Structure 1
Amino acid sequence: MISAVAARKTAQATLQKQQGIIPDVPSSSPGGPPPSNPSPNLPLKRKPSPRHSKTSSSTKKRKRGNKKNAAHTIDLEPDVFQSQREVIVIESDDDEDRQLISQVPSDASQDDSDIEILPGPPPLSSKRRAWSPSMPLDDSSSSDEAEIDMSELIDLPARFSRLPAIDVGATLSTFVPTPGKNVYHFSDADLAVLGEKGTIVVVEQGESLCVLGTCRLTLLKGAISLNGVPLQPSLNSHRVFSPRSSPLVMIEGQTGTKSAIDISSLPPSLHCYKQSKSALVFLQELQTAVEGLGRICRTFEGVFDSYGRQDDSISSPFQLPGLYLVQKQARDLVPFSMPPTWSETISTFSTPPTSTLPSSRAGPTYLVKGPKKCGKSTFARTLLNTLLSHYSRVAYLECDIGQSEFTPPGIVALNVVSNPLFGPAYTHLTFPVRSHFIGSTTPKASPTAYLEGVRNLYEFWRIEIANAYVGDDDPDGRVVDTVPLIVNTMGWIKGLGADLMRQIEEMVEPSEIFEFQSDEPGFTYGDQNHIGFSDTPNAGGYEPVPRKLEPAPSSVLSTSFTPADQRTISIISYFHAIFPSLSKQRNPYPNLDNQSCIQSWDVSLPLCAIAPYEVDIGVAFDQVILTGPGSEDVVSEEIGRVLNGALVGFVQLDHHQSQGKEDKIASIPYVQARPPPSASESSCIGLGLIRGTSTTTVTTTSPNMILHILTPVPPPLLANARLLVKGEMELPIWGMLDFRDTGGGVAGVEQGRVPYLQWGRVPEGVVGGDKRRVRRNLMRRGQA
């Protein structure tokens, strides 16, 4: 690789040659300039640097001393770079994004106004290099946490320049709140028929509301769309979470006259809307303490607040705590919007479904695929909410273990959803119907286990759920005997990821494929031009037609909240969540009769101050299993240190059999290099945090290890979880800290006694004291 100075001079020489300053053929006259390429045997005199451009006495003495070697010295022309701008060639990750960044010389004053971006040379080749085993994997799930090298830092101005311009001050809400005209505040006595106090908002057709914060929304009359999803009148309320860390929720008025309640039973001020086409939206306060997650993970601090701004851009006309109306565009606010191809596709699912599949198929299957950061999860959530207007339940197969929708990362899960979801992923985590613990945010270390888990979940849906009749008829007239499936795939689509993607596609045999395109020129999936499903019909005789979708527009959210931040808040939300209590009379199909979604959060104490479960590892668990690279090298004597502070998965066997006495002799049921059970005979119940370990002596010869475990999983589900599996995931740093203000009279954990953290500088030579540096940008000579 050439240095920056050599690249600068090469580019300058090329520019001069194009302008005719330096001739292509050197002059041969005695008085002409010397050849541009001297003989390699002649020593070159070093050119003075710009900071030493002035002639000094030492330079003159050096020249006089070299007169005797004048025959072997080439006199160079004055440095042309002193009076010109420095041109540095910077290569980004893609050849198409290469640019020439021009800046002033180092000895001049530099400011932002002196920096300009000039168009660079054409790419070396428009064809992308095919994947090879020696080339680093482009892992979308793990590359976000990789160390950033200098080339990425230098390319930041170019990345920010790709973001669309923000029209600050543009109107987001056409709805103009007027008390007594389109905004009505009622107490409990006024709304006795609804049972609780709240605010009724009258939304006309074509009006839009952009909201920030949290609320409970009920559509009493008319029709509206919530984030592009049409809603019909119903007494069922919807929980709305609209933080700054995700696109803000948009409410738009639609045409409709249907009513879910007798308007005459409402206060007299609303009787005039009985025959109108206006929509009556009932808004209530939503108390879940989700705002407290920002105290724990400071990256998300204040994402539900207005930051004290009560002006013409943000107001609170609803008189509900924690709910604001965003009227004008701001730099840190991004409203929800769907690209045209999304709207056209979603509109086709807004009508009641018609059976176009062969009778041999289990049910409709929708597969969403595409590169990372293109909006797959957002589109899949919108599709899910749209299908719930026609089906009483919709299944969701999560194959993206780095950006999971319903569970913490590291799990492939099958969920059955019965209520629409309006909020980011960490606000609606659930206990899945069935799941498998992978233990990592990427399947590159265990691709076989990953595929086995996906296959087992798909077969479980096809046999147990797809055509299973559960419960009574739906009061809204939705289909109850068919449960469609949405398959959300990961964004790793190169190399091994492309092969995994292809196998999943062939496995689920989708009836519809939604394929996101990339804005990169010459983009293909993997190392071939395979788009959509195969050209021949599948085993069921149905040939799907891929629907091409454009990627979601870039926004400031992608730079403010990275995928690693989303994984962190998901884990923090999971361990502080309060899930609903499980019914004693459960349906044979778990979580089909009652979706176990987070109800609220307990953020009063940090994880280091919550009382844990004390569990005897030899009594509660039959096996302790380690997965991931290097796990087979852990000996039995070190298992206690490995489990201390670890994130683990609770796994149960489908056909549990009690172990013999010979397996209970050892105090710790761990066998080195034991593989995890197959997905066909096991399932994951949930995650837990081993906050510490201790040893108690029951007898003089058999000390037992006690695990101090934190988990939101209720005890009824933990009864059959006899396997403890540890993967590669670790607890985020935010989860280890004590966020309480010890200076205000709160007895918090002292800074020096917070578990797993070393405050101050670690003494030199201590094993594990220095941060491990991982270089993912190393390539062989032939790959440069």
Structure 2
Amino acid sequence: MGEQHRAKGIKRVLLSHRELGPQQIIIPPSWSQVAETISLQNGPNHPIVLVCGPKNAGKSTFSRYLINTLLNSRYQRVGYLDTDVGQPEYTPPGCLSLHVIDTQTPDLAVPCLKTPERCFFYGDISSKRDPDAYLDCVFNLYNYFREEYKLSNEQEFHETYHLPLVVNTPGWVKGVGYDILVNMLRYIGPTHVVRIQISDSNKNLPAGAFWFGGDEERPVDLINIDSAQIDSLNRSVLVQKHGRLVRELRIIAYFKQCFSKDLNITAYKELANALASLPPYEVPISSMKVLHLHCQVPSSEVFYSLNGTIVGLSVSSTKSGKCRPLCVGLGIVRGIDILKGLYYVITPVSPRDLEKVDLFLQGLIEIPTCLLQVKGCVSPYMSTNVLTVTT
């Protein structure tokens, strides 16, 4: 991929996640006690903590707080395995990722984007379309953590690692979602399972070590905590998530990285105009393979299906077993010129990483509607001032 020029002259700051709730998260004493107990545990094994519970129970918030607590105690780095494709912590939606965190999050109410150590583009906000592919990605990420950070295999049940690991899980805990969670728990074999409960008992996970079958049993510290909704002064203690809006904000924040931090953007329309005017990368069609993740597209319709969509930028040579290739980031296919044999792609991924990319993964992650309304056009990625599909 060839390098592009960056647009200039945009001012002010983009709307943030603070629109979704209070500006300060209040951590209840029970959460603090659990996080501190885990961080100060004695023994040769660093904790492998899996956090589970229904939607909007506070799993991501507790995970962030636990990471901060671990870093503030005796650890310089903490592994973080994010399996929530709908509302991931440090990546855009549709991604499964492994991170190594070495700095505390100063504001728990404002999630931030981070470059993962390893990432797969699943291409949907739920695992229900392809549970097997989803689990393959999760297992691959955990296997990578084991291989990279294992110290020894001398323990009878739990291996020993260079650093602790926090695993955040989706809030789909019924039906197939429950089966997926059970498979994750059995495969990872955490030292601690933090089960968060909400007031509606019908939506909670079963009590006890529900993932063990029959006489099977391994040492595990199962910790039950209640979701923190309000405190004694009736103040909201968690940012209440609005799924679609959170996902759109994360995608917007991701593509805002196409511009220098010195360029302050205040409104969606300004970002949309900036992206529409940003000179894209020119990508030879002949050098790029296309894989459709959750649908079948006739070969005659491939270009039309790609135009104006978000794709995962992947490296085909990194495929491991049944798992799909690793993803280096996301891009917008802004236009396609068949006569010139070129895709036109917008992405914040560095040119160095883009040089390795030879595969577009097309899933079901959509461009936010607010980025499609530019200068009266229905879509800036299919308008007359942008190169588009030519037949």
Q: TM-score range by the shorter chain?
A: 0.7 to 0.9
Displacement of 1:428 after TM fit? Answer: 2.3
Deviation readout 1:185-214 (Å, 9 max, x if unpaired) = xxxxxxxxxxxxxxxxxxxxxxxxxxxxxx
Deviation readout 1:572-628 (Å, 9 max, x if unpaired) = 000111699xxxxxxxxxxxxxxxxxx777637532121111211113x1x211121
Partner amino acid for 1:413? S
- Quote the Cα distance in structure 2 between the aligned partners of 1:301 and 1:483: 30
Is 1:465 the counterpart of 2:152? The answer is no
Is 1:519 the counterpart of 2:185? The answer is no
- Among 488, 493, 512, the alignment partner of 2:168 is 488
Partner amino acid for 1:382? Y
3-state DSSP of counterpart to 1:729: coil
Partner amino acid for 1:608? A
Is 1:366 the counterpart of 2:57? The answer is no
Match for residue 314 of structure 2? 651
Displacement of 1:753 after TM fit? Answer: 6.6
Partner amino acid for 2:380? P
CA contact (8 A) 1:692 1:707 kept: yes
Match for residue 692 of structure 1? 335
- Structure 1 residue runs without a partner (length 5+): 1-288, 295-299, 305-331, 358-362, 469-480, 581-598, 657-676, 698-703, 739-749, 759-784
Change in 2 beyond 3 A, CA 1:365/1:397: same
Deviation readout 1:302-332 (Å, 9 max, x if unpaired) = 859xxxxxxxxxxxxxxxxxxxxxxxxxxx7
- Structure 2 residue runs without a partner (length 5+): 1-9, 153-160, 384-391
CA contact (8 A) 2:71 2:104 kept: yes
Is 1:378 the counterpart of 2:61? The answer is yes
Deviation readout 1:518-555 (Å, 9 max, x if unpaired) = 21145553xx65645538675xxx51121111002067
Change in 2 beyond 3 A, CA 1:732/1:756: same
Displacement of 1:344 after TM fit? Answer: 1.7
Greater fraction of residues in helix:
2
Is 1:534 the counterpart of 2:255? The answer is no
- Among 272, 289, 299, the alignment partner of 1:636 is 299
Change in 2 beyond 3 A, CA 1:345/1:398: same
Partner amino acid for 2:182? R
Change in 2 beyond 3 A, CA 1:609/1:426: farther
CA contact (8 A) 2:228 2:237 kept: no
- Quote the Cα distance in structure 2 between the aligned partners of 1:483 and 1:548: 24
Is 1:433 the counterpart of 2:120? The answer is no
Change in 2 beyond 3 A, CA 1:601/1:339: farther
- Quote the Cα distance in structure 2 between the aligned partners of 1:500 and 1:506: 10
3-state DSSP of counterpart to 2:200: coil
Match for residue 135 of structure 2? 451
- Quote the Cα distance in structure 1 between the aligned partners of 2:239 and 2:49: 30
- Quote the Cα distance in structure 2 between the aligned partners of 1:551 and 1:403: 18
Match for residue 552 of structure 1? 228
Is 1:573 the counterpart of 2:262? The answer is no
Change in 2 beyond 3 A, CA 1:342/1:558: closer
The alignment-based identity, stated in percent, is 31
Match for residue 13 of structure 2? 292
- Among 27, 35, 50, the alignment partner of 1:346 is 35
Displacement of 1:426 after TM fit? Answer: 6.6
Match for residue 722 of structure 1? 358
- Quote the Cα distance in structure 1 between the aligned partners of 2:58 and 2:262: 27
3-state DSSP of counterpart to 1:449: helix
Is 1:400 the counterpart of 2:84? The answer is yes
- Quote the Cα distance in structure 1 between the aligned partners of 2:337 and 2:282: 10
3-state DSSP of counterpart to 1:648: strand
Is 1:755 the counterpart of 2:391? The answer is no
CA contact (8 A) 2:54 2:204 kept: no
Deviation readout 1:409-462 (Å, 9 max, x if unpaired) = 101100111111123687521221111111000011011100000000000000
Partner amino acid for 1:514? V
CA contact (8 A) 2:78 2:102 kept: yes
Change in 2 beyond 3 A, CA 1:496/1:618: same
- Among 19, 43, 48, the alignment partner of 1:355 is 43
Change in 2 beyond 3 A, CA 1:467/1:602: farther
- Quote the Cα distance in structure 2 between the aligned partners of 1:551 and 1:407: 24
CA contact (8 A) 1:437 1:649 kept: yes
Match for residue 498 of structure 1? 178
CA contact (8 A) 2:58 2:238 kept: no
CA contact (8 A) 1:368 1:489 kept: yes
- Quote the Cα distance in structure 2 between the aligned partners of 1:487 and 1:354: 20
Match for residue 156 of structure 2? none
3-state DSSP of counterpart to 1:435: strand
- Quote the Cα distance in structure 2 between the aligned partners of 1:572 and 1:711: 12
TM-score with structure 2 setting the length: 0.81
- Quote the Cα distance in structure 2 between the aligned partners of 1:450 and 1:290: 40
TM-score with structure 1 setting the length: 0.42
Is 1:625 the counterpart of 2:327? The answer is no
Deviation readout 1:25-45 (Å, 9 max, x if unpaired) = xxxxxxxxxxxxxxxxxxxxx
3-state DSSP of counterpart to 1:341: helix
Deviation readout 1:245-302 (Å, 9 max, x if unpaired) = xxxxxxxxxxxxxxxxxxxxxxxxxxxxxxxxxxxxxxxxxxxx997222xxxxx598
Deviation readout 1:487-532 (Å, 9 max, x if unpaired) = 000000000000000000001100011001121145553xx65645
- Quote the Cα distance in structure 2 between the aligned partners of 1:751 and 1:617: 30
Q: CA RMSD in A?
A: 3.2
Partner amino acid for 1:534? F
Change in 2 beyond 3 A, CA 1:602/1:680: farther
Deviates more, 1:688-697 or 1:509-518: 688-697
CA contact (8 A) 1:578 1:601 kept: no
CA contact (8 A) 1:649 1:684 kept: yes
Match for residue 613 of structure 1? 281
Displacement of 1:684 after TM fit? Answer: 1.0
3-state DSSP of counterpart to 2:337: strand
Is 1:709 the counterpart of 2:334? The answer is no
Match for residue 107 of structure 2? 423
Match for residue 137 of structure 1? none
Greater Cα radius of gyration, structure 1 or 2: 1
CA contact (8 A) 2:330 2:347 kept: yes
Displacement of 1:558 after TM fit? Answer: 8.0
Match for residue 188 of structure 2? 508
Change in 2 beyond 3 A, CA 1:401/1:302: closer
Deviation readout 1:53-89 (Å, 9 max, x if unpaired) = xxxxxxxxxxxxxxxxxxxxxxxxxxxxxxxxxxxxx
Is 1:388 the counterpart of 2:71? The answer is yes
CA contact (8 A) 1:412 1:436 kept: yes
3-state DSSP of counterpart to 2:14: helix
- Quote the Cα distance in structure 2 between the aligned partners of 1:557 and 1:638: 49
